[in-house]
Amino acid sequence: MTHAQLIANKLNIRLEQSAATIELLDSGNTLPFIARYRKEATGGLDEEQIRQLSELLEKLRTLDERRGTILKTIGEQGKLTPELQAQILAAESLTTLEDLYAPYKPKRHTRASIAKEKGLQGLADWILQQPPTRTALDQIADPFLNDAVPTLEEAWGGARDIVAEIISDHAEVRRVTREKAMQWGTLHCEKIDSAVDERSIYALYYVFEGAIDRVRPHQVLAINRGEAEKVLRVKVLIPERDWRSAIIAVFRPSRGSPLAEQLELAIQDAAERLLLPAIERDVRRELTEKAERHAISVFAANLRALLGQPPLAGQTVLGIDPGFRTGCKAAVVDPTGRLLDTATIYPHEPQKERERALKILATLVQKDSVTLIAIGNGTASRETESLVAELIRTSTPQVSYLIVSEAGASVYSASPLARQELPELDVSVRGAVSIARRTQDPLAELVKIDPKSIGVGLYQHDVDQKQLSASLTGVVESVVNQVGVEVSTASPALLTYVAGIGPKVAEKVVEYRDQNGPFRSRKELLKVSGLGPKAFEQAAGFLRIRDGDNPLDASAIHPESYAIAEAVLKKVGLRLQTPVSERKAALEALLAIQPPEKLATELGAGLPTLLDILEQLVRPGRDPRQDAAAPILRTDVLSMDDLTAGMRLKGTVRNVVDFGAFVDIGVKQDGLLHRSQLPPGTRLQVGDVIEVEIQKVESERGRIALGLPGKSHGS
């Protein structure tokens, strides 16, 4: 079966969709470009389907590469039988391949290899064959005695070592034992007596036993970390009936053979010394890989939601990076993100210059016509929130504030990009600028930070870093290309994520822009050094040029489809320069008399492409982030002491994890909305604004339990 067929079956898509998409990927097309501009070829596969297809294709090709290596190695040993070759060619996973390869894999010095060197393979064959002989055991073993094997006991011991390794390496024994372990095995944890766990982080796992097939991903990652920190001892327990039945199905002792006991002893040794430890490693690895994939997918979903939050256009923002001893850094940026003012205030311990801080902030608000204050959520955040609330009450009632995640702000502040953008500013003040700008346009600012530093997941340092980076980079690319990028103002960091561009070409685009001024057309991009026809094809549709020479350059219509767009407008008597507001009625009238299918045929266009063009002619360059809920703007502060059970508040989802969601309700500590409080099928995402009800407040532990309004407490 071809890769295209295997993938089509796995993803439940048509073979022609799979084959066409593979061809597009192999031709160097980017995923966003294929999803947006090659819908006819892919049959309308969305970006996630294409991403899954690409990942499956990579796995299949890795599998083929490994298959080739194994066939070659076994062939060189002269042990590749037609049956074995057929099994290897039919293997559909790396695990199955490695099981088949295990008996032939070159090994370091093992007890079995030492026994073979001593000439005991023949005696091992007697044990394996279990012949119904009347010959005494001593007589069977006697021919195998030599200087290296002086006693009968050593002869039988060595022979059993060979048999034990054969049993353990048998592909079917491994497969069945592994399946039984995954289905019926138990993950067992206990605290190491001498271990120190000062904050009782792993208390839940001091005495823990869970069915392998029911242990949740976050539990696996917590247990792994506890083991790595030498707090927990972890074991996989496999019932004897399961591993024994897997072995006996292939290596059954014969009641009529005097060698039955030798095989029984070899089976016990194989299980305890070789098979069960190997299966335990397999089970732990499979649990970990599954947990990591889940954690990465949660992180990716949270990041997508965070980057998809709507920009707060038209706001002049005062960003505050809070602190105690070193003070709070403040920076004002205008609606375009241009820096207007900076200041450092010391309202908290140890200086306690609160009145002076209020005066400085009031002056900045009045002088620069500030409309919004953004406060970072790090150290001294809530104390600074109290200060800002007092400022609004006493002197600037026209201003609102909000708490902003400052995750990654310090990473950005010390980066080469920050030094290039804000060379005159101290590192600590750059963080305040980043906090202000990420309020105005989260996407444009957050792309300047390594996605792993944005802090919207759990256990991000415990998972496979290469997979995490690839997944998060894919999310950023996806969101950037869905939104589109204004090529004449975008930062190099933002341009880097545009399909077909990358960091080097992004720098060249900015360099060209600095030397020649704003771009007048998409075609002008071809003058940028390093941006050739292929890169232009991939990138052009995602780059926007507003107020340029061609109005279509401000839309998501690809230049290759301009002729179709112009033909549509011509049919209704409009020109490119006709205001967008006048297009809708004319196009609706056209579709009323000529269905899109007929119009597409007449214009020689694919139906999906035509529908996209019609959408863009009516709403050119529309930002999909406009559909997301706007953040909550506040004017006063709450403390945990103000909260009582039953109180209802609006909050913003800050993080979504396996066991629920953390919600910012305007007090120092985010509340936990446990998954048990959510109706089945409810999916929350970062940035959602929801109404919650206070269920329980534990001030001394800094914990707030939340529910949804109308849901009974503790249910």
- Give residue-wise pLDDT tens across range 282-313: 999 999 999 999 999 989 998 998 899 999 98
Q: Measuring CA to CA, which residue among 596, 488, 599 is closest to residue 548?
A: 488
Q: How far is CA 48 from the centre of its chain?
A: 13
pLDDT at 531 over 90: yes
Q: Measuring CA to CA, which residue among 267, 274, 277 is closest to residue 163?
A: 267
* Distance, CA of 665 to CA of 692 (rounded, Å): 9
Give the model's pLDDT for residue 441: 93
Q: Measuring CA to CA, which residue among 483, 423, 422 is closest to residue 447?
A: 483
Give the model's pLDDT for residue 528: 97
Kindly list the distances between the CA atom of residue 77 and the CA atoms of 81, 86, 389, in Å, as whole numbers in the listed order. 11, 17, 78
Q: Per residue in 327-357, pLDDT tens?
A: 999 999 999 999 999 999 999 999 999 999 9
Domain with CATH 1.10.150.310 in the chain: 502-626
Give the model's pLDDT for residue 611: 95
Q: Provide the pLDDT confidence category of residue 3 given band limits of 50, 70 and 90.
A: very high
Give the model's pLDDT for residue 514: 95
pLDDT at 253 over 70: yes
Give the model's pLDDT for residue 642: 84
* Distance, CA of 479 to CA of 476 (rounded, Å): 5
Q: Collapse the DSSP code of 664 into the 3-class scheme (helix H, G, I; strand E, B; otherwise coil) and give the result.
A: strand
Give the model's pLDDT for residue 715: 41
pLDDT at 203 over 90: yes
Domain with CATH 2.40.50.140 in the chain: 640-707
Q: Measuring CA to CA, which residue among 56, 69, 31, 165 is closest to residue 108?
A: 165
- % of the chain at pLDDT higher than 90: 80
Give the model's pLDDT for residue 107: 83
Domain with CATH 1.10.10.650 in the chain: 3-104
Give the model's pLDDT for residue 35: 97
Residues 543 and 551: beta-carbon distance below 8 Å: no
The yes/no answer on whether domain 640-707 falls in CATH 2.40.50.140 is yes
Residues 372 and 633: beta-carbon distance below 8 Å: yes
CATH architecture of 502-626: Orthogonal Bundle (1.10)
Q: Per residue in 108-120, pLDDT tens?
A: 889 999 999 999 9
Q: Provide the pLDDT confidence category of residue 713 given band limits of 50, 70 and 90.
A: very low
Residues 163 and 288: beta-carbon distance below 8 Å: no
Q: Provide the pLDDT confidence category of residue 710 given band limits of 50, 70 and 90.
A: confident
Average pLDDT over residues 248-258: 92
* Distance, CA of 603 to CA of 613 (rounded, Å): 12
111-295 falls under which CATH superfamily? Tex N-terminal region-like (1.10.3500.10)
Residues 181 and 213: beta-carbon distance below 8 Å: no
Average pLDDT over residues 572-583: 89
Phi, psi of 670 (to 5 degrees): -65, 145
* Distance, CA of 418 to CA of 261 (rounded, Å): 74
Domain with CATH 3.30.420.140 in the chain: 317-484
Q: Per residue in 183-195, pLDDT tens?
A: 999 999 999 999 9
Between 30-39, 208-217, 450-459, 562-571, the lowest mean confidence (pLDDT) is in 450-459
Give the model's pLDDT for residue 105: 92
Q: Per residue in 323-332, pLDDT tens?
A: 999 999 999 9
Give the model's pLDDT for residue 333: 97
Residue 476 tokens read as: 């950023």
**For residue 403, what are the β-bridge partners?**
375
Assigned CATH class of 317-484: alpha beta
The yes/no answer on whether domain 3-104 falls in CATH 1.10.3720.10 is no
* Distance, CA of 237 to CA of 188 (rounded, Å): 7
Give the model's pLDDT for residue 457: 67
